[in-house]
Every structure is written in structure tokens, then in C-alpha cells.
């Protein structure tokens, strides 16, 4: 349905996106993961026909979006990372203005506004000026505007940044519902791993402009199927302990945080006894030892060597 073919974008000396290939099928929710600066927003700007790529093509139903953006624009709904609203207008006035952009008018527009306000839970606040809204309400209206023309494809660029958990859950449930009830195709970018795990059927992972992994959630997690993560906690660490861990031939990687260390080891290795011995030799008192199954966060860590929100 929608494809990115060898897509690249260069801003002066900065290669923001490098030879990205991606596809989205009708009715699926696809996640695009990556830390800040990974190139996600540039990729979706090219995908939505707002930015012309330096190289490559975007194809919608096998036709070039670069040459003919109109067919895609008619069916696309865009939720930018920013609050793309007029904060001095009311929720209803915003919806009316953007509805007119999509050629809606009269009763059809009124009916659609009522429906959207109901879907995003802002019917009671329809006459209120947007700048009086909480961050979560603004985010919901930001999504509502993109829903006005019943888009087939919804592109959501980090739509839950900086909002309270309640609004976040509301938004995630809304996206799920739209996908389920209207078969809406969704491309969802985020650096919240749990959102992507909750929503998406398939996932693409980007880092430094490159697409570094793709597949279903299980396929992605299987990247780490040969490893397991041992999570240990203590009030303090010392250099002897960390050096000993890193020098242990059975340990693949050690990720040190303030009161927590993650040790990646081959799945078949049982290093419990050796871990206790290393801790005793280094004078470290362990508070807990936990063996975890890999999460997408672990996969990301494995692929990039850094956490998603770094």
C-alpha cells in the first residue's frame, strides 16, 4: 500500500535518513522506533509528501508520491509531534477551520465535528479556547483534527510526548479503536517502547538515519533469543566488581546504571554461582538478582548500544 524505497535525505552535511526501505500494509499498525535524532520525523515527512527526498521514492498504491502527492494527501491524516493547532481558537473553531480545509461544510462538517469531539472526549470542552487545555487535551485535539476527513492512513509522530498517563492511555486506546473499527492504517513513531509493544503489529527501528531492524514484535525479540538478561541490584558498585564481570568469558555485555547492572549472557549459561563469587571477592552486597526475558528496549540496547531515551 505505502512503500519507502531507498529513501535518503541529506540536509547540508547531515545525512538525516540513509537508504531506508519500509512498507505499510492496509489495516496494520506499524511502529517506527528510534531515539531523538534517529531520523524518524524526517522519514515520515517524506512519507507524507511534505519533504522531497534527496534520493529514493515513496510509493502509494504503486504510484510515486513525489510526482503525484494528491492521491496520498486525500487519504492521509497527520498528527505532528508539535501541537499543530491555533491556541487562541476554541476546539470547535479549530475543527471547523481544518474541516473546511478538507472541503467539509454545512451539516456534514457539523456532524463530523460532533463525532470527532466525542471520539477524543472533548465534547464538554468544545467551546473552550485551546490554550486553556491541559497538554493531554491538546494532544487529543491534535489527533482529532487529523481524523476529520476519515483518513485511511494515520501518521502519528510521537503523539504522547509530555502528557499525563491518563491522557496517554486514552490516546493509545483511541488509536487501537480506530484501527479496529475503521481498519485505519497507522504509522506510529515513538521512543516509548511500551506504547509500541502495546499498539503495533510490526516494528521498524531507526538509529542515526539507518533502519537497523524490522519485523513483528516476536521477530524483533527473537534477535535476542540467544541471550538472556540478568538484572542485579545493589546500593553501591566498585571498579573491581565491574571489571571482573566484564572479564568473565561467559558475559557478552555489561550495562551499568546507578543501582542496577544488566548482564547479557548466552541463554544456556547459568552464571548464578560465579556471579555470587565475583560479588563476594569484590566486597559487593547484592540486594537482588533477576533473570529477564528480552524486551524491545533490550533489543534496542543490543542493536544500538544505548537506551531509547538517551
Partner 1 sequence: MIGQIVKKQLLILLRNPVQILLLVGLPIILIAILSMALGGTMSGEAPKINLKIAFLEHGDEEEQIDRFVSDIEQSALPDEATEAIRSNTSQVAPIRILKDHIFGSDDLEAMIEFHVVEPGEREQILNDSSYTAVVEVPENFTYEALGSMVLGGAAPALQISVNDEQQLGSHIVTQILESFQEQLTLGTFLGKKGMDEAVLQVEETFGEVSIIAQKNPITTQGYYTVGMAVMNVLFIASTLGSIAFMEKKTHVFDRMILGNISRWTYFIGVFVSSSLFGFIHLLIVYGFSWIVFGVKWPDLVAFFLVTMAYAIAIGGITVLLTAISYRINSEVITNFFSAIVVTFMAVLGGSFFPIGDSSAVIRMLGNLTPNGAGMSSYLTILRGDGISEISHHLLFMFLFALLSITIAAISFPKRRAS
Q: Does 118 bind partner 1 (CB under 8 A)?
A: no
The grid cell for 105 is 461544510
Site for partner 1, residues 55 to 94, rule: CB under 8 A: 69-70, 73-74, 76, 78, 80, 82-86, 88-89, 93
Question: Residue 132: phi, psi to the nearest 5?
Answer: -90, -5
Nearest approach in angstroms of CB 19 to partner 1 is 18
Asked if residue 160 binds partner 1 (CB under 8 A), the reply is no
- Given the complex with partner 1, which of 67 and 285 has the nearer CB atom? 67
Q: Per-residue contact track with partner 1, 237 to 276, x per CB under 8 A? A: ----------------------------------------
Task: Locate 207 and state its grid cell.
Answer: 538509529
* Residue 101 is a binding residue for partner 1 (CB under 8 A): yes
Residue closer to partner 1, measured from CB, 145 or 205: 145
Q: Which three cell numbers stand for residue 210?
A: 539507518
Task: Tell me how many residues contact partner 1 (CB under 8 A).
Answer: 29
Which residue lies nearer to partner 1 by CB, 32 or 85? Answer: 85
- Whichever of 96 and 221 has its CB closer to partner 1, that residue is 96
DSSP 8-state secondary structure symbol assigned to residue 60: E
> Which is nearer to partner 1, 53 or 294 (by Cβ)?
53
Which range, of 50-58, 168-176, 209-217, 288-296, touches partner 1 by CB under 8 A? Answer: 50-58
Torsion of CA 40, 44, 50, 53, to 10 degrees: 70
143 binds partner 1 (CB under 8 A): no
CA dihedral of residues 187, 191, 196, 201 (deg, nearest 10): 50
How far apart, in Å, are the Cα atoms of 296 and each of 33, 102, 122, 198?
A: 10, 38, 33, 11
CA-CA-CA-CA torsion sign (121, 104, 149, 46) = negative
Question: Which is nearer to partner 1, 76 or 205 (by Cβ)?
Answer: 76
Provide, rounded to whole angstroms, the least separation between the CB of residue 116 and partner 1: 15
d(Cα 40, Cα 157) in Å, to the nearest integer? 8
**Beta carbon nearer to partner 1, 76 or 193:** 76
Please state, in angstroms and rounded to a whole number, the distance separating the CA atoms of residues 287 and 290: 10
Query: What is the DSSP secondary-structure string of 144-200?
Result: HHHHTT--SEEEEESTTTT--HHHHHHHHHHHHHHHHHH--EEEEEES-HHHHHHH-
Applying CB under 8 A, which residues contact partner 1? 45, 48-52, 69-70, 73-74, 76, 78, 80, 82-86, 88-89, 93, 97-98, 100-102, 129, 145, 149
Amino acid at each position: 500500500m505505502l512503500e519507502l524505497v531507498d529513501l535518503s535525505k541529506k540536509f547540508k552535511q547531515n545525512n538525516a535518513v540513509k537508504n531506508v526501505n519500509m512498507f505499510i500494509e492496509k489495516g496494520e499498525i506499524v511502529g517506527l522506533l528510534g531515539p531523538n535524532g534517529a531520523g524518524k520525523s524526517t522519514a515520515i515527512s517524506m512519507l507524507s509528501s511534505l519533504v522531497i527526498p534527496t534520493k529514493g521514492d515513496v510509493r502509494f498504491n504503486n504510484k510515486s508520491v513525489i510526482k503525484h502527492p494528491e492521491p496520498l494527501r486525500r487519504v492521509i491524516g497527520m498528527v505532528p509531534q508539535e501541537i499543530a493547532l491555533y491556541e487562541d481558537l476554541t476546539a470547535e473553531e479549530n475543527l471547523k477551520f481544518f474541516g473546511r480545509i478538507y472541503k467539509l461544510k454545512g451539516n456534514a462538517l457539523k456532524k463530523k465535528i460532533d463525532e470527532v469531539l466525542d471520539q477524543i472526549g472533548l465534547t464538554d470542552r468544545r467551546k473552550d479556547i485551546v490554550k486553556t487545555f491541559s497538554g493531554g487535551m491538546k494532544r487529543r485535539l491534535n489527533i482529532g483534527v487529523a481524523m476529520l476527513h476519515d483518513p485511511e492512513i494515520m501518521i502519528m509522530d510521537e503523539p504522547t510526548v509530555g502528557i499525563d498517563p491518563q491522557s496517554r492511555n486514552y490516546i493509545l486506546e483511541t488509536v487501537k479503536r480506530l484501527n479496529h473499527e475503521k481498519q485505519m492504517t497507522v504509522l506510529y513513531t515513538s521512543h516509548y517502547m511500551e506504547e509500541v509493544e502495546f499498539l503495533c503489529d510490526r516494528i521498524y527501528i531507526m538509529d542515526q538515519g539507518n533502519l537497523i531492524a524490522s519485523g513483528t514484535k516476536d521477530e524483533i525479540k527473537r534477535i535476542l533469543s540467544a541471550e538472556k538478561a540478568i538484572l542485579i541490584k545493589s546500593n553501591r558498585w566498585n571498579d573491581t566488581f565491574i571489571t571482573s564481570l566484564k572479564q568473565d568469558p561467559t558475559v557478552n555485555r555489561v550495562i551499568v546504571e546507578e543501582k542496577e547492572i544488566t548482564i547479557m549472557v548466552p541463554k544456556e549459561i547459568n552464571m548464578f554461582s560465579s556471579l555470587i563469587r565475583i560479588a563476594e571477592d569484590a566486597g559487593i552486597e547484592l540486594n537482588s538478582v533477576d533473570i529477564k526475558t528480552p524486551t524491545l528496549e533490550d533489543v534496542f540496547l543490543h542493536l544500538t548500544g544505548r537506551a531509547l531515551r538517551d
